[in-house]
Amino acid sequence: MGSAGVYCVAMNNAQQILQSVFGYEAFRGPQDAIIQTVIAGGDALVLMPTGGGKSLCYQIPALARPGCGIVISPLIALMQDQVSAMRQLGVRASYLNSTLDAEEARTVERELLSGELDLLYIAPERLTQGRCLSLLEQASIALFAIDEAHCVSQWGHDFRADYLQLSLLHERFPAVPRIALTATADERTRAEIILRLDLAQAEQFIAGFDRPNIRYRIALKTNPRAQLLRFLKDEHAKDAGIVYCLSRKKTEEISLWLQQQGFNALPYHAGLPPALRADHQARFLREEGVIIVATIAFGMGIDKPDVRFVAHLDMPKTIESYYQETGRAGRDGEPANAWMIYGLQDVIKLRQMMANSEGSEEHKRAEQHRLNAMLGLCEITTCRRESLLKYFGDTLPQPCGNCDTCLEPVDTWDGTEAARKALSAVYRTGQRFGVNHLIDVLRGASNDKIKQFDHQQLPTYGVGKELDNTQWRSVFRQLVARGYTSVDLAQFGALRLEEQCRPLLRGEQDIQLRRDVGGNTTRQQTKSVLPADIDVGLWEALRECRRLLAEEQGVPPYVIFHDRSLKEMCTVLPRTPEEFSYITGVGERKLDKYGAAFLRAINEYL
Ligand code: ADP
Ligand code: ZN
């Protein structure tokens, strides 16, 4: 790489580095303030949502300050890609972790000592070894960046014991600024990071949680496969995305079925052989348009910026999980879809799982509470984003305009009468029957089960003919979701009345229900890939050019250029290197390396 000195001397200005190295026009949100703090030698604690742009916050100070920036990251599997991405920009980056042999590691150490590195990624378990610390003491260090800083939290699920020792950085290197970064930001975790990493003096930068480019949509589950297929065909025919399912078996069935439908789909779950899992993950990163059908085992550390959709075929148990999983979409800031379908069966299944779960009463109550919040999000008739952000203690000044309820306001109807009939059917049949039979009673069906229990004699028999089967299911779903009735697992899903329903039955309370539309999403479509003004032929030609370059160098295509840059090329149609240099994501190095190839592709096409 050799352009070392250039960065330190001539470009010690953050704005200039942003443009010439990264090819970006302006800083996002608090990036500028964070970068200034660290360049000036101060410590910083950075809380930013996924895709917010945390990496620049240490990459730019590492280039602006003398010495090498040390990045501590627990995600060894990603270091290679992060380093390739940096090298593409002309930044002299390397990593030290257990995947290197002794000889390779020695080379990196030599480079560090002779000042030939701008950025060095180190795994925490390695950093805290005496040998590594004394190496660092001999080197010139620009800063320490502690990525995924929530790993110090002993209460979180990403806890890493090695992270606890990172407070020694402050003791051993008091003059070197430290920047800790995370997207997991509840109050308690934040306090723990400050305590354990000795960051009481650090300036705190807390960006909002919002991911404005993600469109949240939750539709009624009617025919899951058909709905998924329609969603993919209409909106994401060639896009990379993740489909989440609850069970391992289902991920395999769905991915096989998607393959038969012509999609490049692969399963991923904890039960697959490690080598196969790694292979599927690698293909997801390196090839374009791969769909991973996964359980929640897939995700931690998936740093792919161009995931265009996250689809849930099953409802997650908490809003935290939902937000984390959907957050893997659209890290590059381009439009992305968080699409979910859910129905009565999901509600019943999750309610049962909860009731069945181990743990103290207090723990169960907490879980119950979190599930209720998730169900509430599914059933609300107002802006989804508003409700999501509120859950995390954030506020939105106005409805977002980029979720299903904003785009297509939901109708509500006065369900008081229907709810009373439904609850009374539950009561009159002795709280021993599931939804299907209850609907038969309400609609006055005559079948064996009705006859067997003499249910045609009940006062509620046949009083609900005004609603069809689907509408009754919707009523029951909402009653269960809102806790008016519960599901008895010992009795095969029989519904029971809950205390809450008394005022409703006594006529002291009304209830507004959501009017479900049959999962039809046409009006909410985001063709996430291409805006109307883009020539599909040119777009494909540029993608092909990118694919070839990526293959040549053994890096994922997005490391060459993000979709955003390609789209801009399609609309701006640069004809000269100078024009090309104004495209977002084109810094000096990429102009040199790729300008000619893309200009040629554009020329040939035109
Ligand atoms: P995080 O680590 O917070 O999830 P990243 O650092 O990976 O986010 O950044 C997400 C994406 O946004 C990256 O592709 C990055 O290059 C891009 N990005 C970051 N800052 C800017 C900026 N100021 N202008 C344009 N793109 C940016
Ligand atoms: Zn909204």
DSSP letter for each residue of 441-465: HHHT---HHHHHTTGGGSTTTTTTT
Ligand 2 centre from 400 Cα, in Å?
Answer: 4
Residues 55 and 201 in one domain: yes
Ligand 1 centre from 203 Cα, in Å?
Answer: 21
Bridge partners of residue 25, in order along the sequence: none
Domain boundary among 384, 407, 430: 407
Buried b / exposed e across 95-134, counting CB within 10 Å, b at 16+? bbbeebeeeebeebbebbeebebbbbbbbbbbbbeeebee
Residues 422 and 393 in one domain: no
Query: What residue's CA is closest to ligand 1, atom 23?
Result: 27
Residue 521 lies in a domain: no
Domain boundary among 363, 389, 407: 407
Residues 397 and 457 in one domain: no
pLDDT given at position 350: 82
Q: 446: domain CATH number? A: 1.10.10.10
Q: 557: domain CATH number? A: 1.10.150.80
Ligand 1 contact, 59 CB (< 6 A): no
Residues 25 and 161 in one domain: yes
Nearest to 325 by CA among 410, 396, 268: 268
Ligand 1 contact, 48 CB (< 6 A): yes
Q: Which one of 10-19, 25-34, 151-160 scores highest in mean pLDDT? A: 25-34
pLDDT given at position 188: 81
Q: Which residue has the tokens 């995390």?
A: 392
Ligand 1 centre from 315 Cα, in Å?
Answer: 29
CA pair distance 320, 520, nearest whole angstrom: 27
Residue 520 lies in a domain: no
Residue 473 lies in a domain: yes
**Beta-carbon-side half-sphere exposure of residue 156 (alpha carbons within 13 Å):** 25
CA pair distance 544, 454, nearest whole angstrom: 69
Residues 599 and 455 in one domain: no
Residue 459 lies in a domain: yes
Whether the pLDDT of residue 293 is over 70: the answer is yes
In 386-514, beta strands by DSSP E: 412-414, 485-488, 494-497, 512-514
Which pLDDT tens digit goes with each residue over 396-455? 889 999 999 999 888 899 999 999 999 999 999 999 999 999 999 999 999 999 999 999
Q: 256: domain CATH number? A: 3.40.50.300
Which pLDDT tens digit goes with each residue over 147-178? 999 999 877 767 888 999 999 999 999 999 99
Residue 325 lies in a domain: yes
Ligand nearest to the CA of 304: 1
CA pair distance 594, 108, nearest whole angstrom: 27
Query: What residue's CA is closest to ligand 1, atom 5?
Result: 53
Is residue 297 within 8 A of residue 272, CB to CB? The reply is no
Residues 230 and 191 in one domain: no
Ligand 2 centre from 276 Cα, in Å?
Answer: 39
Residues 182 and 243 in one domain: no
Residue 281 lies in a domain: yes
Residues 187 and 59 in one domain: yes
Residues 569 and 501 in one domain: no
Ligand 1 contact, 53 CB (< 6 A): yes
Nearest ligand 1 atom to alpha carbon 303: 7
Question: What is the rounded average pLDDT of the residues 193-207?
Answer: 93
pLDDT given at position 360: 80
Cα–Cα distances (Å) from 115 to 79, 84, 152, 169, in that order, read 20, 19, 30, 20
Domain boundary among 190, 206, 222: 206
361-364-366 Cα angle (round to 5):
110
Residues 448 and 541 in one domain: no
Residues 126 and 65 in one domain: yes
Whether the pLDDT of residue 339 is over 60: the answer is yes
Q: What percent of the chain has pLDDT over 70?
A: 95
Ligand 2 centre from 220 Cα, in Å?
Answer: 18
Residues 502 and 359 in one domain: no
Nearest ligand 1 atom to alpha carbon 584: 25
Nearest ligand 1 atom to alpha carbon 562: 14
Ligand nearest to the CA of 563: 1
Pairwise pLDDT comparison (352 vs 414), residue with the higher score: 414
Which pLDDT tens digit goes with each residue over 99-156? 999 999 999 999 999 999 999 999 999 999 999 999 999 999 999 999 999 999 877 7
Query: What residue's CA is closest to ligand 1, atom 20?
Result: 53
Length of the chain: 606
Ligand 1 centre from 234 Cα, in Å?
Answer: 28
**DSSP H or E stretch at residue 340:** strand 336-342
Question: What is the rounded average pLDDT of the residues 278-293?
Answer: 93
State which residues form the domain around 71. 3-206
Residue 523 lies in a domain: no
**DSSP H or E stretch at residue 430:** none
CA pair distance 453, 429, nearest whole angstrom: 9
Whether the pLDDT of residue 563 is over 80: the answer is yes
Both tokens of 103, joined, read 């000889």
Residue 527 lies in a domain: no
Domain count of the fold of the chain: 4
Ligand 1 mutation pick, 89, 205, 331, 563, max ligand atoms within 8 A of CB: 331
